[in-house]
Structure 1
């Protein structure tokens, strides 16, 4: 009894001292413990994801890869695997497990080593959130206090769900949703039992147990997980045997990118960083939806890349990217013969007539150093026959390049000169060459990385929503976005704005201007200024409509003189062009000013939408990580107060519909939250802001109608054609308007065009502004294979590069997709526009009704009042006859 009292007394004193000690430690550490608010509002640092308007993932930003999942979305087998392996008593203990602690303490006493852990899931979560992995007593004590704190504030399911999403699992994946994507490229519900067991074994040591870096260790850890599941009765013996014998199938997967659109994604990323800061943007779990749809964005990217290949190929082949050995070795090997080659090398040659010291590793290393961009991929030429050659890529895949895939490859001499067409494959390539190839129309072709650059921007002219944007051939080769950053001389793309200024200052579409050479002495420079037409042809007196259609340079200069330089510059700024970028001399009428494609397309949108200056934007809406609407863009609409009701209602319906369609894809609860929040952040239709009117509806209509002439074949095929005539010919639509643009010495080529619903601008040029786009000569093999298309589209066109030849094909290819099955949307005729019959030559009224006359549009009060006299009539003219049918041309 005496000893029992002593033991009880000692126990009481020890317990009291322990309690006092723990209380003291608690108050000492209390300032370092997380607050209740932090525990209940845990941020998972989810990466930002960027989607197209229709929900295709185009990019993901953030160092930590995380795909949040709820407990309900987590397969039951995975939950059981984690609990069996990490904390089988999770739902029974209070944050710490006394049984586990006792087991670890006994092991420490017996071995003197901290080889066994006793951490519960709650403790692991506490350590992951707030502590480090260092094995110290003070850290362990903090871990216990935080775990108890978490258990007091959160439910078991909340803690387990946080664990599923927070735990680090290797290769920058955090949470099991991200790990399933990183290791297997799957969603959690698509994993096999073997894959589930592999992931469940990662939390202990993700750097050394993951199946990519340490597959052997991962297999052993998987076996332990499966045994624990078997012991707990979660799986059967048959399931254990099948999963235990399964091979390692893990390999590193990137984000599930559905459409690679890096130029668009980078613009949106930069805007999000400006709004939220880099850290918050990359970890806040934002789901950002672009204004561009996947269909139009993909069409724009394909159009730019294919157009640059067409340009590049018609200028000739620049030769192999690299060689695996000196060219002379081919002849040496052939002379020695295979037997002698074997005597001189221990290894067999990889291919016949190859140097025998070139092995597979040499090939793969060489190909890896080249890199793949855009459409092209590097390969090595393994053998060459008369009209074919065989290639091998880094994966060992062999492809045969047929003659029709290489007959374009005339030698490149310089940008304006090409050599003779090749006769055989050996004129082009040799064994050991490293070349690029690409696939087009189910045919593998010899290719090269384009030297020239290009850009394309498409907008909805009625609200400024960017429908597609491409800033170059490959973002991974050059991150410079030419669509938004490259200020280039716009050439004749400026003329619609100059003609708009003329209409504002007393001119009409039928005004006759003298298309004759200008030769003016400049006393300041001591040099005569002689602006010339391109080509240098002059028609004498010519109506404004025809002058714009033919892009007459001297007429543009004379119009500027009639309006005045200051008035013209002021008018150009109405289209959103920065005054600082506008040349303050008469060359501005020819496009000497430099602007980006985005600035140009914005100006063109003002003509397309009836006179309103819209603001381009890239982001449609931003959602949080749970799919709830945080913000939605409310664009300024291109309409007047009196006729905006329909446009407002349509914009409101489209934005609400997009949010609701998204919500339908989520769980019902999330759908309700998204819909409710959407209603709160949307502007009501009547409060939708309006874009400012900068030119009159009549002015915009008349300019657009003149621009229709620029994209037509006017009269019979032997009569004149607008500089952009291919647009109507190929697209076969009557609602298109457009304008080509070519600068001096063909350094920049442009085409801008639109209908009432869509406006797009394409640009081609070299990043080196001193380099000319050059010219091409007749390519007989291409002409023989495709005689109908020769000289009017693709890599068969000939002559000096221009807006119509270098840039317009990209615009046409894009519009072929964008306008497919879309009803025509011609410009509506505004009030106070009248139509009268005039004489084609003089622009005066006429009483004739034959083909020397036409009906022309005028602003009421500006129509001609004088009739043409008989001696002024020209019966030979046929300039503006009705369009011919495309089928009648060839």
Structure 2
């Protein structure tokens, strides 16, 4: 008996020795050349960059893997417990591998194998970290051995909480979700702190096979897997019976983020992405987890898009109907034939349809969703045939003058819900060929508040506000006049409007500029030169002041870098961008202070450190934790003064006059203080309107991408100005009117609006003209300056308005 016991003990000892030797051999063989597990100590996963609008709403996300990193201390216990129950309940007790779990898995797999069920694994969370971070996903015995060795090493180098932090932030959970925080947002539109037991259990159910448990495609499988996790949590005593019952009894309700929760501003977002990549590189943008607060105001952006789009559509309709997309004859199955037609880009809310029948008063259509509709005759009246050479065909009397059966067209619902005998009414639509841009800038800070770079980003990603360089035409003239005002001229100075001939050099023809009207007006005030946009006066003034001076001002305002010293440049023959020109106008209304335009207010790294801030002013008394009883903060304005405030205000007043009586007068019926200038280049290739309120500068450009005439009768006043007007009406109509700020040095004197001389009794057209100290007409009696209270405005008094 004793000898038998000795034999058994010896045998067991030998087995242990052989086992240890075999283990050492395996460890030595597979432990060589493994990846350095110590890199996980300082590992930081790829995190997406998120860009927010001014109101905090999400604008865009940039990432190779969409992930929001959450430190372990910020992960709720409920979420941690759900994953431990589902993946590794002994996580806090094993050394990297779980012998008990392996034994359980072996016994389970014997049963599953004999019954034909799927085999189960026994990988711990630490092993999954080793596999996901340091090894490939190959299924092999070699890889499992290496995984186990690395798991032991990782457990020695990292704390349990750090291992769990890496796992929960790195793991892929389907639906484009990397990490638990992104998954919570994508599936439930919630932060981790707001998840219920049901929702946390569902996320914990995903690691094994996220696509198989996608709740949108396989709701029943997703619910069954969730319930299994809830059962494990109850078994592990991590939740109560009541919580488990409530969770399993509830439906698995997912909630995708609504489009309204995002700010739609593709042109703006792309410019932000470009700027971030330029500053920090693509690696930081797509992996660095930057948090960006942009300058965009969503309400302004929405009105900007609507105003620009409406203006382009109205212009397009004025120039006639270019015909249907194609004609498909009279097929047996209208809808099937229509489904084969490629959809034009940027359809948005517009629909593809085919004409199936018509009468003398309406057109019957089949829409691409299978519904039927009607187009009343009055919605076809605009569609006169476009004839090359800027001509239109005869007026529309019948639907057949426009359409034929089988025509594939684009239609737009007139009013959602308005029906005729249960059939929805539509209007005929065509995609404009014309393009344009609109930009809104805070005149005092340079913050870009809205940006529309074209009719549709889907149709064309080319940003016409930032990237398109075009001739500004007459929109540049104010800077010629500013150079004069800053060098001794006044708004009442007289300039000769008469024929002007420029010798351009040997062998070159003489240049004879002319006014748009083809007329000459003799001696006229500088104010009239701006208000009526007189070319001859502008060229003569530029010659008098000197194009070198004009070129310097153009550079100081950021319009042109090096404007050629040629008189034709005074009429806006150089090329610039809408952003640069609008920014220059902003510097007029802000009193002549230099601004730097920006789309970004602040950038923080993923640790919350501010690495960029547009507003660099220091404010020592702006700490909110000591707000009580502290003095009024004093923010030093260190912006460069590029022209005198008085010269700037004189130009504001003159441009307000352009809106009241000049080329921008179609805007004056808004009844709020606005100023601005139209711009139209030769042959109407480009049209502009740049204007401002006391605090906002808004620029509009309209033209074809491949330059061609917009039409003989089309100008900045007819194309661009209505877009500016619609936008300003949308954002300012319900706000109190704010007058333009008057510098204390300015004197306002009553003068004749046409002659610039002191107003006399009986003069019908009288304005308050702005003069610098010592330049007001001698003998003026009634004067106001910026230090005195202005007379209350009415429709017969005020800056640039008539008495």
> Please, what TM-score do these two structures have when normalized by structure 1?
0.77
For residue 790 of structure 2, what is the aligned residue in structure 1?
Answer: none
Q: Within 2, Cα distance between the matches of 1:177 and 1:802?
A: 53
Q: Within 2, Cα distance between the matches of 1:148 and 1:689?
A: 60
C-alpha displacement at 1:374, in angstroms?
5.2
Q: 1:169-188, CA deviations, whole angstroms, 9 ceiling, x for partnerless residues? A: 23432124433554566666
Q: 1:118-175, CA deviations, whole angstroms, 9 ceiling, x for partnerless residues? A: 1022322332222221123343233224434444455545544543332112343212
Contact 1:708 1:736 in 2 (8 A): yes
For residue 813 of structure 1, what is the aligned residue in structure 2?
Answer: 726
SS of equivalent residue, structure 1 residue 545: helix
Q: Within 2, Cα distance between the matches of 1:3 and 1:255?
A: 76
Q: Within 2, Cα distance between the matches of 1:225 and 1:400?
A: 54
Q: 1:121 to 1:406 in 2, by over 3 A?
A: farther
2:711 to 756, 761, 774: 774
User: What are structure 1's unaligned runs of at least 5 residues?
Assistant: 330-354, 638-647, 661-674, 677-683, 713-720, 776-799, 868-880
Q: 1:483-538, CA deviations, whole angstroms, 9 ceiling, x for partnerless residues? A: 01101010110111010112233322111222233355655355343322223343
Q: 1:239 to 1:425 in 2, by over 3 A?
A: farther
Q: 1:93 to 1:295 in 2, by over 3 A?
A: same
2:151 to 113, 134, 147: 147
C-alpha displacement at 1:699, in angstroms?
1.1
SS of equivalent residue, structure 1 residue 595: coil
Q: Within 1, Cα distance between the matches of 2:24 and 2:508?
A: 99
Contact 2:531 2:657 in 1 (8 A): yes
C-alpha displacement at 1:283, in angstroms?
1.9
Q: Within 2, Cα distance between the matches of 1:652 and 1:622?
A: 23
Contact 1:53 1:289 in 2 (8 A): yes
Contact 2:410 2:430 in 1 (8 A): yes
C-alpha displacement at 1:87, in angstroms?
2.6
For residue 645 of structure 1, what is the aligned residue in structure 2?
Answer: none
Q: Does 2:540 align with 1:536? A: no
For residue 491 of structure 1, what is the aligned residue in structure 2?
Answer: 473
C-alpha displacement at 1:42, in angstroms?
3.9
For residue 571 of structure 1, what is the aligned residue in structure 2?
Answer: 553
SS of equivalent residue, structure 2 residue 659: coil
Q: Within 2, Cα distance between the matches of 1:159 and 1:805?
A: 66
Q: 1:685 to 1:429 in 2, by over 3 A?
A: farther
2:714 to 801, 812, 820: 801
Q: 1:245 to 1:427 in 2, by over 3 A?
A: farther
Q: Within 2, Cα distance between the matches of 1:22 and 1:851?
A: 105
SS of equivalent residue, structure 1 residue 434: strand
SS of equivalent residue, structure 1 residue 534: coil
Q: Does 2:402 align with 1:428? A: yes
Q: Does 2:30 align with 1:117? A: no
Q: Does 2:656 align with 1:743? A: no
For residue 49 of structure 1, what is the aligned residue in structure 2?
Answer: 50
C-alpha displacement at 1:572, in angstroms?
1.9
Contact 2:752 2:763 in 1 (8 A): no
Q: Aligned residue pairs: how many?
A: 766
For residue 600 of structure 2, what is the aligned residue in structure 1?
Answer: 619
Q: 1:746 to 1:46 in 2, by over 3 A?
A: same
C-alpha displacement at 1:802, in angstroms?
0.9
Aligned counterparts, 1:639-678, within 5 A: none
Q: Does 2:332 align with 1:356? A: yes
Contact 1:308 1:454 in 2 (8 A): yes
SS of equivalent residue, structure 1 residue 204: coil
Aligned counterparts, 1:568-647, within 5 A: 568-580=550-562, 582-625=563-606, 628-635=608-615
Q: Does 2:322 align with 1:322? A: no
Contact 2:49 2:290 in 1 (8 A): yes
Q: Within 1, Cα distance between the matches of 2:409 and 2:95?
A: 65
For residue 381 of structure 2, what is the aligned residue in structure 1?
Answer: 407
For residue 63 of structure 2, what is the aligned residue in structure 1?
Answer: 62
C-alpha displacement at 1:685, in angstroms?
7.2
Q: Does 2:695 align with 1:757? A: yes
SS of equivalent residue, structure 1 residue 620: strand
C-alpha displacement at 1:619, in angstroms?
0.5
Q: 1:218-269, CA deviations, whole angstroms, 9 ceiling, x for partnerless residues? A: 677667657756876869799889969979x879979885221011101111
For residue 366 of structure 1, what is the aligned residue in structure 2?
Answer: 341
For residue 783 of structure 2, what is the aligned residue in structure 1?
Answer: none
Tell me which moved more, 92-101 or 298-307. 92-101
Aligned counterparts, 1:498-513, within 5 A: 498-513=480-495
Contact 1:556 1:589 in 2 (8 A): yes
Tell me which moved more, 8-17 or 692-701. 8-17
Q: 1:527-585, CA deviations, whole angstroms, 9 ceiling, x for partnerless residues? A: 343322223343322111112111111111111121122222222222112233x3432
SS of equivalent residue, structure 2 residue 396: coil
Contact 2:531 2:655 in 1 (8 A): yes
For residue 280 of structure 1, what is the aligned residue in structure 2?
Answer: 284
Q: 1:188 to 1:450 in 2, by over 3 A?
A: farther
C-alpha displacement at 1:453, in angstroms?
0.8
SS of equivalent residue, structure 1 residue 527: coil
Q: Within 1, Cα distance between the matches of 2:348 and 2:520?
A: 43
Contact 2:679 2:715 in 1 (8 A): yes
For residue 791 of structure 2, what is the aligned residue in structure 1?
Answer: none
Q: Within 1, Cα distance between the matches of 2:244 and 2:389?
A: 67
C-alpha displacement at 1:707, in angstroms?
0.7
C-alpha displacement at 1:445, in angstroms?
3.1
Contact 2:441 2:450 in 1 (8 A): yes
Q: Within 2, Cα distance between the matches of 1:432 and 1:186?
A: 49
User: What are structure 2's unaligned runs of at least 5 residues?
Assistant: 419-425, 627-631, 781-793
Q: 1:569-622, CA deviations, whole angstroms, 9 ceiling, x for partnerless residues? A: 222222112233x34322112111111001101111121111122110110112
C-alpha displacement at 1:217, in angstroms?
7.0
Q: 1:612 to 1:251 in 2, by over 3 A?
A: closer
Q: Within 1, Cα distance between the matches of 2:236 and 2:258?
A: 35
Q: Within 2, Cα distance between the matches of 1:303 and 1:399?
A: 28
For residue 91 of structure 2, what is the aligned residue in structure 1?
Answer: 90
SS of equivalent residue, structure 2 residue 597: coil
Contact 1:58 1:260 in 2 (8 A): yes
SS of equivalent residue, structure 1 residue 301: helix
Q: 1:658-684, CA deviations, whole angstroms, 9 ceiling, x for partnerless residues? A: xx9xxxxxxxxxxxxxx99xxxxxxx9
Q: Within 1, Cα distance between the matches of 2:221 and 2:537?
A: 79
Q: 1:857-887, CA deviations, whole angstroms, 9 ceiling, x for partnerless residues? A: 22223334499xxxxxxxxxxxxx97599xx
C-alpha displacement at 1:762, in angstroms?
0.7
1:165 to 169, 178, 187: 169
Q: Within 2, Cα distance between the matches of 1:74 and 1:391?
A: 56
Q: Does 2:741 align with 1:828? A: yes
Q: Within 1, Cα distance between the matches of 2:750 and 2:226?
A: 87
Q: Within 2, Cα distance between the matches of 1:438 and 1:562?
A: 55
Q: Within 2, Cα distance between the matches of 1:685 and 1:378?
A: 58
Q: 1:401-429, CA deviations, whole angstroms, 9 ceiling, x for partnerless residues? A: 44454432222224722223323334333
2:37 to 9, 12, 34: 34
Contact 1:374 1:474 in 2 (8 A): no
C-alpha displacement at 1:215, in angstroms?
7.3
Contact 2:687 2:715 in 1 (8 A): yes
Contact 2:351 2:368 in 1 (8 A): no
For residue 629 of structure 2, what is the aligned residue in structure 1?
Answer: none
Q: Within 1, Cα distance between the matches of 2:367 and 2:257?
A: 21
Q: 1:399 to 1:61 in 2, by over 3 A?
A: farther
SS of equivalent residue, structure 1 residue 556: helix
Contact 2:482 2:647 in 1 (8 A): yes
Q: Within 2, Cα distance between the matches of 1:281 and 1:164?
A: 22
1:695 to 643, 654, 679: 643
Contact 1:836 1:856 in 2 (8 A): yes
C-alpha displacement at 1:835, in angstroms?
3.6
Aligned counterparts, 1:267-306, within 5 A: 267-306=271-310
Contact 1:513 1:555 in 2 (8 A): yes
